[in-house]
Amino acid sequence: MTALAFTLEKDADALSLQIYDVQGALVQTLSTGYHSSGTHYFNWNGMDVNGNTVPSGVYLVRLGDQHHALIQRVTLLR
């Protein structure tokens, strides 16, 4: 289980939190849509969108909307 958190200074209407592999393929969407200001916590269970366990490795976490995005690398260890 990988714990992820982010803090928003103001409400966001169309924000998404997604996990990608290093080739850029979408692995999992953890949250999408409206998010209020404040801190938000999410857990990624190491599964892809089809419920398959993904291997250990480096993944990219993308937090963003249609105009801005923050991307951070994370390492999943099994």
For 11-70, the three-class secondary structure string (H helix, E strand, C coil) is CEEEEEEEEEECCCCEEEEEEEEEECCEEEEEEECCECCCCCECCCEEEEEEEECCCCEE
The CATH code of the domain that includes 26 is 2.60.40.4070
Tens of each residue's pLDDT in the chain, 78 residues = 889 999 999 999 999 999 999 999 999 999 999 999 999 999 999 999 999 999 999 999 999 998 999 999 999 998
φ and ψ at residue 77, rounded to 5 degrees: -115, 135
pTM of the model: 0.91
pLDDT of residue 1: 81
Total domains present in the chain:
1
Q: For residue 44, what are the domain limits?
A: 2-76
